[in-house]
Amino acid sequence: MSLKAFAARIFAKRIAQKTKKWVAHPHETQERVFQHLIASAKQTQFGQDHGFSEIRTYADFAQKVPVRDYEELKGYIGSIIEGDEDVLWPGKPIYFAKTSGTTSGAKYIPITKESIKHQVEASRNAILNYIHETGNADFVDGKMIFLQGSPILEEKGGIKLGRLSGISAHYVPNYLQKNRLPSWETNCIEDWETKVDKIVEETENENMTVIAGIPSWVQMYFEKLNAKTGKKVGELFNEFQLFIYGGVNYEPYRAKFENLIGRKVDSIELFPASEGFFAYQNSQKEKGMLLLLDAGIFYEFIKADEFFDENPKRLTISEVELDVDYAMIISTNAGLWAYNIGDTVRFISKKPYKIIVSGRIKHFISAFGEHVIAKEVEEALQLAVEGTDAMVNEFSVAPQTNPEKGQLPYHEWFIEFERQPSDMVKFTTIIEEHMKKQNSYYLDLIAGNILQPLKISTIKPNGFQEYMKTIGKLGGQNKVQRLSNDRKVADGLEPFKIS
C-alpha cells in the first residue's frame, strides 16, 4: 500500500467517526443548524424583511417565511447583482452558479464561502466514506476524471459566475491535482463533442481508476473510447474501480454501462445541486443516500401530493414518514430561505435518514389525473429491461392528448435502444403492467377506457444527443427530461423517431 493510500485510510476513519456523531443525533443537529442560520442572517435585508430577530422556533420561521421558488427570490438576487451587500446572507456571495430555468430563463444561485466549503467537504467525504467502508484506497494512486463543465468563469455584478461543475473544478485539493484529468486546457473547451474527443485522446493510455459524471455524458465518453480502441472500458482501464455519479437515476443505464465496461465496478451516488450538496451513498450494501444534516442546510418537507394545495403542511426531519414522496425545501448558508429546489425525495430509512430521489415536483404526467412520477416510469422500464434482452440508452415519456381520430389518449414512451427487445410486445406489456401495479390512478384510467395502453416510439441511435444539441443542452450538467405533462419534449423528439 502506498503512503498516499495509507494516509487516505487514516483520514477516512477520522471523517467516519465525525459523521457517526451527528448521525446519532439527527434532530439536535438540524436544530443547531437552524439556530445558526437564523442568528447569522438577522441583520440581512431578507432577515429584517421577515422578522428574523423575533424567530425563536421552527414554528415561528414557518409562520414568517413562506415557501418560495426562484421567481420569488429574484428581487433579492437582483439587489446582489446591483452591488448590495448583506441581502440574503452576510456580505456578498463569492459565486453565482448559473443554471437553466424553465420559466425564469437563466437562474443565478448564490454560493457563499460557507456554502462552497460544505460542497467541497461533502464530495470529499463521499469518497472517504467509501474508503472507510470497503478498506479500498488503492485507487487514489491512479488517474481520476470528472466530466464537468468549463471552469472558465464570467462575472455578474462583480461576482464570479459559472456552472457548478466548473466552479467545483477550482477546488480540487492539491494532493489530487497530479492525478486529475483532463488537462485544464481540455476542460475549458466549450463544445461538448470536441471536448469528449479530446478527453478520449488524453485518457486512453492512462491508468484511470475513478471516473465521475452524469451517466448520460459518461456513456458518451465510454462509447467513444470503445469506438477508438475496440476495447471494453474495463479492459482498457484494468484498474478502473469506482464510478461516481449524480443528477439522474443510474438504474436505467446500469445494464448498458456494465456492457460498455465489461465487468462490474463499485459506484457512489451523489445528490449535489447548485443550491447545496444534500446527500451521498454511504453504503455499498444498502440502497439510498445519507441525508447530510450537518452541512449548513436546514430541511423541510411537503408531501408531493399536497404540494399544490393552498396551505400544505410543512414538516421537519422529525416528522417525515417512510415511502412517501416529499418536495424538499431548504434554507441554507448561501442565503436560500424555505426554497423549493424542485426535487422530490422518498425516505427509505430513518436510522439513519436515507433518501432516494423520486423525481421533480414539476416533472410528472397528470394530463388525465394519473399523477405519474419519475420513480414509477424508471422502475417499470428497469423491470422491462431485466425481463427481456433489451438494452436502453435513453428515454422520455409524455401524454398524447390528441391521438388520431377514433383512438383513446395514451402515454407515449420515446425510447432509444442500444439493443431492441426481440419481443417488443413482452417488453411493452411488462412496462404497462408495472405502471398499473404502481399507480392506481393509471390503472383506473385504463380500466375505465379513458386511456389506452402505452405506446412506444423508437428513437434512432444518438437521437437524444441530437435532440439535446438542438436545444443547446448537450453535455455538462444538462439532463434529458424524463417526464413531461405536455408535448414540448415530445415534439422536439419527433424528427428523431424511427418510422
Q: Which domain CATH number covers 464? A: 3.30.300
Quick count: other Cβ atoms within 10 Å of Cβ 220? 22
Are 358 and 424 contained in the same domain?
Answer: no
Written as nine digits, the cell of 39 is 442568528
Percentage of residues of the chain with pLDDT beyond 70: 98
- What are the tens digits of pLDDT across the range 132-183? 999 999 999 999 998 888 889 999 889 999 888 889 888 877 766 788 899 9
- State whether 381 and 297 are in the same domain: no
> Is residue 477 predicted with pLDDT exceeding 80?
no
Task: Report pLDDT digits (tens) over 45-54.
Answer: 999 999 999 9
Cα 481 to Cα 178, 228, 232, 377, 484: the distances in Å are 36, 30, 29, 12, 7
- Burial label for 424, CB within 10 Å (0-12, 13-18, 19+), is middle
pLDDT tens-digit map of 233-292: 999 999 999 999 987 777 777 888 889 999 999 999 999 999 999 999 999 999 899 999
What's the total number of domains in the chain? 2
Q: Say if residue 330's pLDDT is above 70.
A: yes
Instruction: Could you list the beta-strand ranges (E) of 239-390.
Output: 242-246, 266-273, 276-280, 289-291, 297-303, 325-332, 339-350, 353-360
Note the pLDDT of residue 484. 87
The pLDDT mean for the chain works out to: 91
Q: Does the pLDDT of residue 102 top 50, yes or no?
A: no
- Picking from 362, 395, 425, the residue at the C-terminal end of a domain is 362
Judgement on whether residues 353 and 403 belong to the same structural domain of the protein: no
Assigned domain for 184 exists: yes
Given 318, 338, 362, the domain boundary residue is: 362
For residues 477 and 287, which has the higher predicted lDDT (pLDDT)? 287
Q: 408: domain range?
A: 374-496
pTM of the model: 0.81
Whole-number pLDDT of residue 103:
43
Is the same domain home to 67 and 134?
A: yes
Looking at the domain assignment, is residue 368 inside a domain?
no
State the residue for C-alpha cell 464530495: 123
Position 127 in a domain: yes
Radius of gyration of the chain (CA): 23
Query: 433-440, long-range: CB within 8 Å, 24+ apart, which pairs?
Result: 434/379, 434/380, 434/383, 434/384, 435/372, 435/376, 435/377, 435/380, 435/411, 438/376, 438/379, 438/380, 439/370, 439/371, 439/372, 439/376
Domain boundary among 334, 362, 390: 362
Query: Are 288 and 388 within one domain?
Result: no
Residues 121, 91 share a domain: yes
Residue 173 lies in a domain: yes
pLDDT digits (tens, 9 = 90+) for 12-37: 999 999 999 999 999 999 999 999 99
Is there a single domain that holds both residue 394 and residue 293? Answer: no
What per-residue confidence (pLDDT) applies to 396? Answer: 94
**Which range has the top average pLDDT, 395-409, 417-431, 467-481?**
417-431
* Between residues 122 and 107, the one the model is more confident about: 122
Considering the domain architecture, whether residues 237 and 139 belong to the same structural domain is answered as yes
Same domain, 58 and 180: yes
Nearest-CA neighbor of 336 among 32, 25, 81, 110?
110
